[in-house]
Structure 1
Amino acid sequence: MIPQLFPSSDQGCAYVAQLVIDRIVAFKPTEERPFVLGLPTGSSPEGVYRRLVEAHKNGLSFRNVVTFNMDEYCGLAPTNDQSYHYFMYHHFFSHVDIPEKNIHILNGQSDNFELECANYEATIASFGGIDLFLAGVGVEGHIAFNEKGSTRDSRTRQVFLDESTIRVNSRFFEDPSQVPRSALSVGVSTVLAAKEVIILAFGFAKAEAVKKTLLDEVSSDCPSTFAREHTNSQLIIDTGSASGLGALAQSLHMHDGSPVFEEMPAVQKVEAK
């Protein structure tokens, strides 16, 4: 996995959006041969979606792009403003020309979660797998809802959320008791089966997770470490999230051409954004 350092999250998002655009254009997708894109939610990719919407306004078509989202809370209706269905339509799908039939998001209100997850994996396989998977990293080093203990071979399934994840996500809800206790999530293996993986991690709140992702032993103790096994993956970070890397940060190339810091800023204990 190649770490890519940017002065700010905004510049990191610009890089990722351009990468997505370049991949779609180079692929020359058709209805019979669509480009398959895996997508995350959360604050990290918002800047990416904003730029993809702008690219669409300037002529980029998503008509032959198929998407698979990473996860969804169990029990939340798609119209709930905290559901990931709502997030994706609000930030992206409603603003581009992607056909409804090309959008795939796990159904957190399914009567049969096991069947829902099995069908999701089968649908991904029916398209020949995912060409490019975008992902974020949680403050504890989880990808999607693959919490500590998630194995390398895990696939799409129902997961029960750690208290730390519930606590972090409670900031989005009026009452912490409203945070769902479980979710449907693609597995580690689902992500790593993609042809290319791009992971975003921005801000001081993600510094410890980035440090673990790049420097810890690859294990289920920090599921994001498994991304290092992928032969075509990048970790997109900014100066805040890189602040715990110490000497390693000094060796990273700053994408705007500015000098690498003589001294990285100290890790700040702040709430996740």
Structure 2
Amino acid sequence: MNIYIYENEEGFVQSAANQVTSLLNAKPYAKLGLATGSTPIGLYTRLIEMHRKGLVSFSKATTFNLDEYVGLPENHPESYRTFMNEKLFKHIDINIEQTHIPNGNAADLEEECRAYDQMLEQHGPIDLQLLGIGHNGHIGFNEPGKSLTSGTHLAPLQEKTRQANARFFPSIDDVPTHSVTMGVGSIMKANQIMLLIRGEDKAEIAHRALTGPITTDCPASLLQCHPNVIVLMDQGAGRLFK
């Protein structure tokens, strides 16, 4: 595991963007695992800028998102499909049919989970999986617990997670209670994982996840078992590593 702490946002964002663009320039047909939330927005903005400058193309790439809320219409402003379209996809040259996000409105959610896993298997391992980390150590929407699920599954969201996401909704009552999320087994199959952590409020969970015991009570701690993880943190998130 390689851990890098950046003094400013520019270094943090550009380093993350360089990881993605280097992969795509070397392997245009790369498979990217993408994440949502506030942390990767700067990365997506930088990738759009680099694409417009002719420094990278997404035309042959395929993407797979980690998760989606259950019950939000696809065009809802807080759905992850809307997020990805607005923050990245509509501004680059990617084929929208090559962008995959779990369907949180599927009539049969268990079948949707099976179908998403099958699609991941058919396309082979993800080349670069982008991750953030929740305040409770979740990756994707794999919440802490006595056990974790390997494949894509229907996941209830813990109250702490719903409270953290409430800032994006009119009230906590509007935050979905469940998601469809890629499982930790699928995440760990990626050839490389890039974990982005921003903010002083993430410092304690970052230190626990990356240096503490490997436990399902902190799902991100399982990343210690992966052979190729790069961690990018800003000064606040990395303050306990100094």
Please list every run of 5 or more consecutive structure 2 residues that lacks an aligned counterpart in the other structure.
Answer: none
What is the aligned partner in structure 1 of residue 51 from structure 2?
56
What is the aligned partner in structure 2 of residue 17 from structure 1?
17
Kindly indicate whether the alpha-carbon contact (under 8 Å) linking 2:147 and 2:216 is maintained by their aligned counterparts in 1.
yes
What is the aligned partner in structure 1 of residue 71 from structure 2?
75
Distance, in Å, in 2 between the alignment partners of 1:93 and 1:100 is 7
What is the aligned partner in structure 1 of residue 139 from structure 2?
143
Distance, in Å, in 2 between the alignment partners of 1:10 and 1:79 is 32
Shift of 1:150: 6.9
Kindly indicate whether the alpha-carbon contact (under 8 Å) linking 1:53 and 1:96 is maintained by their aligned counterparts in 2.
yes
Matched residue pairs, number? 241
Kindly indicate whether the alpha-carbon contact (under 8 Å) linking 1:38 and 1:69 is maintained by their aligned counterparts in 2.
yes
* TM-score, L = length of structure 1: 0.86
Distance, in Å, in 2 between the alignment partners of 1:142 and 1:180 is 17
The percent identity for this pair of structures is 36
Distance, in Å, in 2 between the alignment partners of 1:110 and 1:79 is 14
Kindly indicate whether the alpha-carbon contact (under 8 Å) linking 1:151 and 1:188 is maintained by their aligned counterparts in 2.
no
Which residue of 41, 46, 69 corresponds with 2:36?
41
Distance, in Å, in 1 between the alignment partners of 2:7 and 2:114 is 41
Shift of 1:10: 3.7
Please list every run of 5 or more consecutive structure 1 residues that lacks an aligned counterpart in the other structure.
Answer: 251-273
- 2:12 is paired with a residue whose SS is helix
Distance, in Å, in 2 between the alignment partners of 1:11 and 1:184 is 33
Which residue of 110, 124, 128 corresponds with 2:124?
128
What is the aligned partner in structure 1 of residue 100 from structure 2?
104
Kindly indicate whether the alpha-carbon contact (under 8 Å) linking 2:24 and 2:57 is maintained by their aligned counterparts in 1.
no
Kindly indicate whether the alpha-carbon contact (under 8 Å) linking 2:142 and 2:148 is maintained by their aligned counterparts in 1.
no
Structure in which a larger fraction of residues adopt helix: 2
Q: Are 2:205 and 1:220 equivalent residues in the alignment? A: no
Name which one, 1 or 2, has greater alpha-carbon Rg. 1
What is the aligned partner in structure 2 of residue 95 from structure 1?
91
Kindly indicate whether the alpha-carbon contact (under 8 Å) linking 2:197 and 2:234 is maintained by their aligned counterparts in 1.
yes
How well do the aligned residues superpose, as a CA RMSD in angstroms? 1.2
Distance, in Å, in 2 between the alignment partners of 1:2 and 1:230 is 11
Distance, in Å, in 2 between the alignment partners of 1:151 and 1:64 is 37
Residue type at the aligned position of 1:46: I
What is the aligned partner in structure 2 of residue 26 from structure 1?
26
Distance, in Å, in 1 between the alignment partners of 2:11 and 2:201 is 18
